Structure 1
């Protein structure tokens, strides 16, 4: 156990890792149990504590970091629902050791079938400002692509393995060709995002990677890894995709075409997004069902 604690370090240690390392090691060692080994705890606790320090500016105190509010805020940055449920379980277990007074009872488990909340128009405007406010041109470009391709084309977090020539611009607008992964398809960008994306495309040579570095491999945490190094409140890639889905549902996009563009073959949880779509007036409802409604 001691060896595991001493040797562990995060995959991408930040300059603050050395300063938080003793705290993380102590938290993992004190909270280890038959259910969670030291190694398992370190994998979850280390990035959580680094996020608390680097992004929230919180002090290294168990009763400050390991609270429901802070844990829930951190979980919003975790894109995968299944991982989010696991992380909360682990962090709650640590909290029950380090901050028992705030955790008298277990939380209700996160449903693995929960959908991501779409962003409001105001939130999206905030993420536009976030993208433009990054400190380097490379980060600004990647942030703009993340927001534009997420909210404007519904790309999954692991679908940013794009070359510049995978995106075409012509009289039909901006069209993205997703070649790799499990869901190859062609996705037209929503027109509202064309003026945002086209200037970014002009910065990249035709045969160059658009978002990833040449040596980078696509994975579900690519966007999380990127946003962890940015300033300000970053968007969640899965929520950007949810925003795109709700935009199309609100516009009345035909389901067959929407599923094709989304890269899905079953309705799955798609129906759950309908609660974010405004109802129409009774007269419009009648005309829609009669097939005479002109949007």
Structure 2
């Protein structure tokens, strides 16, 4: 390899940590793909200069080649695209999944859905939300993200009911699974895995994708969406363009003329 071992280990450490945060299975053929590497370079190391990010991408591609062999001519699609938004019937199934949980897990399941579908939070962010981070006023419910991509996110009204129950609390208890003193690795995915999975459990990446796509379809101003999502650039939204609802030709022409 044309790279020093210490440099590869440094990149690998950042890459592995990002994969764990995004609940990706740490297997060579799962994380060492072109799509995952591209997502990491784009979203996981935003503070670095373009040259440094390009070098990281080249190092990870080289590791992928050594670990997995040359990329096949036509890579098969993954069984479940982690970026694919949920369909309406899938969301209904997830509501049923939450309702079917045992009493002591049901509240957590419903809150995970509310924070994922209602505010587009990542798994790591959901795990860190405290009761005092949820507020409500005449406009609706807002969730404060106090670490990482610090921001306040207005919650979609259709998902706000569960959060209204704790809004205004001054408690610093964790919202999901209160009583704990820290957030272990893979916290949300472990909660889902321990629950009843007769209808399948939620994937936080897909819930966030669903939230983003909803706002893109309804015409939420892009600058407002970037601020609420914690994204730095419009480039991060391009992966969802293929899922956008088609626009009526007459409507689109009228809009373009205005």
Check whether the contact 1:168–1:174 (CA below 8 A) recurs between aligned residues: yes
Q: CA-to-partner distance for each residue in 1:28-49, whole Å, 9 max, x for gaps?
A: xxxxxxxxxxxxxxxxxxxxxx
User: Using the alignment, how far apart are the partners of 1:227 and 1:164 within structure 2?
Assistant: 21
Q: CA-to-partner distance for each residue in 1:47-74, whole Å, 9 max, x for gaps?
A: xxxxxxxxxxxxxxxxxxxxxxxxxxxx
C-alpha deviation, 1:108, in angstroms? 3.2
Q: Which runs of 5+ in 2 are unaligned?
A: 1-20, 33-71
> Between Structure 1 and Structure 2, whose CA radius of gyration is higher?
1
User: Using the alignment, how far apart are the partners of 1:109 and 1:280 within structure 2?
Assistant: 30
The number of residues matched between the two structures is 192
Q: Secondary structure at 1:186's aligned position in 2?
A: strand
C-alpha deviation, 1:206, in angstroms? 3.2
User: Using the alignment, how far apart are the partners of 2:233 and 2:83 within structure 1?
Assistant: 17
Check whether the contact 2:226–2:232 (CA below 8 A) recurs between aligned residues: yes
Work out which of the residue numbers 226, 236, 251 in structure 1 matches 2:218. 251
C-alpha deviation, 1:279, in angstroms? 1.5
Check whether the contact 1:175–1:189 (CA below 8 A) recurs between aligned residues: yes
Q: Secondary structure at 1:265's aligned position in 2?
A: coil
C-alpha deviation, 1:249, in angstroms? 0.6
Q: CA-to-partner distance for each residue in 1:65-102, whole Å, 9 max, x for gaps?
A: xxxxxxxxxxxxx954584654488xxxxxxxxxxxxx
Structure 1 residues 226 and 81: alpha-carbon distance in aligned structure 2, compared to 1, 3 A threshold: closer
C-alpha deviation, 1:183, in angstroms? 0.2
Work out which of the residue numbers 67, 89, 94 in structure 2 matches 1:127. 94
User: Using the alignment, how far apart are the partners of 2:236 and 2:25 within structure 1?
Assistant: 15
User: Using the alignment, how far apart are the partners of 1:254 and 1:84 within structure 2?
Assistant: 38
Work out which of the residue numbers 210, 219, 226 in structure 1 matches 2:191. 226
Check whether the contact 1:147–1:235 (CA below 8 A) recurs between aligned residues: yes
Q: Secondary structure at 1:235's aligned position in 2?
A: coil
Check whether the contact 1:185–1:260 (CA below 8 A) recurs between aligned residues: yes
User: Using the alignment, how far apart are the partners of 2:136 and 2:204 within structure 1?
Assistant: 24
Q: Which runs of 5+ in 1 are unaligned?
A: 1-77, 90-105
Check whether the contact 2:213–2:244 (CA below 8 A) recurs between aligned residues: yes
Alignment partner, residue 144 of structure 1: 110
C-alpha deviation, 1:236, in angstroms? 0.5
Alignment partner, residue 186 of structure 1: 152
Structure 1 residues 80 and 224: alpha-carbon distance in aligned structure 2, compared to 1, 3 A threshold: closer
Structure 1 residues 218 and 286: alpha-carbon distance in aligned structure 2, compared to 1, 3 A threshold: farther
TM-score by length of 1: 0.58
TM-score by length of 2: 0.66
